[in-house]
Structure 1
Amino acid sequence: MTHNTPLSPRPLHHLADGRRRLMTAAQLRAHGVSAAETDEQCRPGGPWQRLLPNVVLLHPGPPTSEERLHAVLMYAARERTAADGGAPAGVPASVPVQPGGDKRPVLAYAEAMITGLAGLTLHGFRAAPPLPSLDAIDVLVPRLRRLRTTGCARIVRTTALPTAVQVTGVPVAPVARALADAVAGLSDAGVVRRLMTEAVRGGHCEPAAVVRELNRARLLSRPHVVDAVDSLVAEGRALAEQRLYRMVREHGLPEPAWNVDLRLPGGPHLGGVDAYWPEHSVALELDTRAHRQQDDDALWAEHARKREHLERLGVTVVHLTPRKLRDCLEHQATVVRTALMAAADREPAAYVVVLPR
């Protein structure tokens, strides 16, 4: 036998077992399947079908939602070679589902992740459509990748690829990014508002993270998006206030005066605060800013001036964010309790008038 002697034909049925129903052209070649054999298997009425360029579905029926997701990722992922030190796209690899979590087999996809409405569906959004109803699945890739939208794969480009979240073995863009990519293709104000509200109400992310992504995508000039952002901010503030009330109640803190304005007697207005303990001269502010970037700097400057003025008068200002209240409520209660206890060691503060806001 010489090197030019063709290999004996290999049976192909072993490729379409229960776990391997999708393969790239490169993976098929690695299994000894030539391009001509692939073409023959993918002929009309044949046992295989080309679902996307270079992605073959190894059965004749319609693809499942899971197969469509993985096909899109296999099409968009950068093919890794042995020189890269990694597995080719779609080859099982053991990676942690989350930091510190147990390792489980997932499919390795380089420089590609599901985003947009499909990403929100995978994150568990009830307001997002089910996967079978989506004609196209958005996949996020680096801006310089040479790919085109085709079939069920819609290419979304980014200059900085975020860290993917693994959802049932599928790499998915973080909620805020997936939401921004979904909003970019939506014109229905009601749908946009429902998705944004669920992002906050469902505990997926904070309003500020969503607005940062919307601002980065230059979507905040769209009227229906601006209206939805206003609802988003209101929803986020209401949830933060509920957590603040719970913190005071569950951790045995003294009851403050809620949502009050502070003034000097016969003097200027000092500003509003979310909670104030008059006997301790401790004020608490929730930072729920999530507006457009051009407004954000002015708001921050105003908050900084108010805080500096109050502290010059001897009032301690505790600054909390909704994320801190969500992620470490007990620690924030300790911060407030420490500020209250320290009041006895400070010089008496100036007398301020407390008025309902």
Structure 2
Amino acid sequence: MTHNTPLSLRPLHHLAVGRRRLMTAAQLRAHGVSAAQTGEQCRPGGPWQQLLPNVVLLHQGPPTSEERLHAVLLYAARERTVAVNGGGNGGAAAGVPVGVTASVPVQPGPEETPPVPAYAEAMITGLAALTLHGFAAAPPLPSLDVIDVLVPRLRRLRTTGCARIVRTTALPTSVRVTGVPVAPVARALADAVAELADAGAVRRLLTEAVRGGHCEPASVVRELNRARLLSRPHVVDAVDSLVAEGRALAEQRLYRMVREHGLPEPVWNVDLRLPGGPGLGAVDAFWPEHSVALELDTRAHRQREDDALWAEYARKREHLERLGITVVHLTPRRLRDCPEHQATVVRTALMAAGDREPAAYVVALPR
């Protein structure tokens, strides 16, 4: 017996039941539908249509946005081989003919939870993923001609129809949104930006990513750098806006942390210098009575620039600490995720001031 041998004479309309009326050719074979029968059903004017290679839509008319998403995933997902041997009622309960071995893409089903993650080695990325993540600046799903799907680099797939294949050497951990595996925001942004030439659209997406709290600038820029997109002028301009937006949000969180957790009010955004001497560098907050300075690490540029900035941070910190000034270093992500803990770090530094040798006198000038 082969996969193409019909196993049932039941009418085929029973398959087109449920919210997503999609099946792969392998799944149809497992239900006893031969390749010839599938071809007949998908003929012009027939009740079915082939949406993508080996993916059949079990109704006529345009597919819904949900059906397009799942069709792309069915096309791109790695298939697993399952043996249906008729032991117990397992095969019959799932509607799979007894005694058939079929290659079936892993996908969610109403009857049972699959033993491996649904849609193995495939996830939605790019603009479609951003829409699913709730981005207002991303277009609605029905307006997208193609849907990007992320797969491992060595998968033998090609872009076709509404499925655009995006390859990666390291597949990230997907996020489930309405039952669909979706790439994390930073990765989806990079894949979307790779296809966009509109500077305004790129800027709006990057700004919303930070302003909407989806991710931090550093993670976005890291993905853009990995995708080698930081050589494009319109992307660089958008990144500058992104960094500025990220710093503004981090400063707002810092102000809120100080006030909500009862810390003494510092002087904000000052340049420190020795009286009549050279400048010591800028800090985001300074408590003169305690000789404690605070810096926000909002670096989000390319690696080479990061190295130079980090070296500057380190030199400034060493110089200030030699003068007896404690430097507290906070990141925007920690301020966002655990402000209470960061407030404790600052409070501990302020309380320890009385146990230290008096610091050198420095002048704090507004910047």
Q: Which amino acid aligns with 1:31?
A: H
- 1:89 is aligned to 2:106: yes
Q: Which amino acid aligns with 1:244?
A: L
Residue 155 of structure 2 aligns with which residue? Answer: 145
- 1:329 is aligned to 2:339: yes
Q: By how many angstroms is 1:8 displaced?
A: 4.6
Residue 32 of structure 2 aligns with which residue? Answer: 32
TM-score, with length taken from structure 1: 0.92
Measure, in 2, the Cα distance between the counterparts of 1:296 and 1:20: 47
Where in structure 2 are the equivalents of 1:14-33 lying within 5 Å? 14-33=14-33
Measure, in 1, the Cα distance between the counterparts of 2:6 and 2:193: 54
Q: By how many angstroms is 1:354 displaced?
A: 1.1
Cα-to-partner distance string for 1:277-298 (whole Å, 9 max, x where unaligned): 0011110000001112221110
The correspondence for 1:267, drawn from 260, 263, 277, is 277
Would you say the 8 A contact 2:130–2:138 is kept in 1?
yes
Q: By how many angstroms is 1:256 displaced?
A: 0.1
DSSP-derived class of the 2:79 partner: coil
Where in structure 2 are the equivalents of 1:80-229 lying within 5 Å? 80-82=80-82, 88-92=105-109, 94=113, 108-229=118-239
Residue 99 of structure 1 aligns with which residue? Answer: none
DSSP-derived class of the 1:82 partner: strand
Cα distance, 1:6–1:151 mapped onto 2, change above 3 Å: closer
DSSP-derived class of the 1:51 partner: strand
Q: By how many angstroms is 1:162 displaced?
A: 0.5
Q: Which amino acid aligns with 1:137?
A: I
Q: Which amino acid aligns with 1:88?
A: P
Cα-to-partner distance string for 1:111-160 (whole Å, 9 max, x where unaligned): 10000000100000000000000000000011110100000000001111
Would you say the 8 A contact 1:106–1:169 is kept in 2?
no
The correspondence for 1:290, drawn from 282, 293, 300, is 300
Would you say the 8 A contact 2:106–2:116 is kept in 1?
no
Question: What is the root-mean-square deviation in Å for CA atoms of aligned residues?
Answer: 1.9
Q: Which amino acid aligns with 2:171?
A: L
Q: By how many angstroms is 1:20 displaced?
A: 4.5
Cα distance, 1:57–1:106 mapped onto 2, change above 3 Å: farther
Residue 100 of structure 2 aligns with which residue? Answer: none
DSSP-derived class of the 1:236 partner: helix
Would you say the 8 A contact 1:107–1:169 is kept in 2?
no
Q: By how many angstroms is 1:87 displaced?
A: 7.4
Residue 303 of structure 1 aligns with which residue? Answer: 313
Q: Which amino acid aligns with 2:76?
A: A
Measure, in 2, the Cα distance between the counterparts of 1:350 and 1:165: 51
Would you say the 8 A contact 1:107–1:170 is kept in 2?
no
Cα-to-partner distance string for 1:255-311 (whole Å, 9 max, x where unaligned): 000000111122221110000000111100000011122211101100011011111
The correspondence for 1:353, drawn from 339, 342, 363, is 363
DSSP-derived class of the 2:80 partner: coil
Residue 68 of structure 1 aligns with which residue? Answer: 68
Cα distance, 1:7–1:259 mapped onto 2, change above 3 Å: closer
Measure, in 1, the Cα distance between the counterparts of 2:266 and 2:146: 52
TM-score, with length taken from structure 2: 0.90
Structure 1 segments of 4 or more deviating over 4 A? 5-8
Q: By how many angstroms is 1:82 displaced?
A: 3.2
Would you say the 8 A contact 2:283–2:294 is kept in 1?
yes
Measure, in 2, the Cα distance between the counterparts of 1:315 and 1:94: 58
Cα-to-partner distance string for 1:17-41 (whole Å, 9 max, x where unaligned): 1235001111111111111111111
Measure, in 2, the Cα distance between the counterparts of 1:122 and 1:205: 15
Cα distance, 1:6–1:334 mapped onto 2, change above 3 Å: closer
The count of residues paired between Structure 1 and Structure 2 equals 342
Cα distance, 1:118–1:7 mapped onto 2, change above 3 Å: closer
DSSP-derived class of the 1:38 partner: helix
Would you say the 8 A contact 2:151–2:171 is kept in 1?
yes
Cα distance, 1:54–1:275 mapped onto 2, change above 3 Å: same
- 1:344 is aligned to 2:354: yes
Cα-to-partner distance string for 1:42-88 (whole Å, 9 max, x where unaligned): 111111110000000111121000000000000001002238xx973
Cα-to-partner distance string for 1:224-248 (whole Å, 9 max, x where unaligned): 0000000000000000000100111
Q: Which amino acid aligns with 1:190?
A: G
DSSP-derived class of the 2:282 partner: strand
Q: Sequence identity of aligned pairs in percent? A: 88
Cα-to-partner distance string for 1:175-228 (whole Å, 9 max, x where unaligned): 010000000010010000000000000000000001000000000000000000
Would you say the 8 A contact 1:73–1:112 is kept in 2?
yes
Residue 238 of structure 1 aligns with which residue? Answer: 248
Measure, in 1, the Cα distance between the counterparts of 2:52 and 2:197: 28
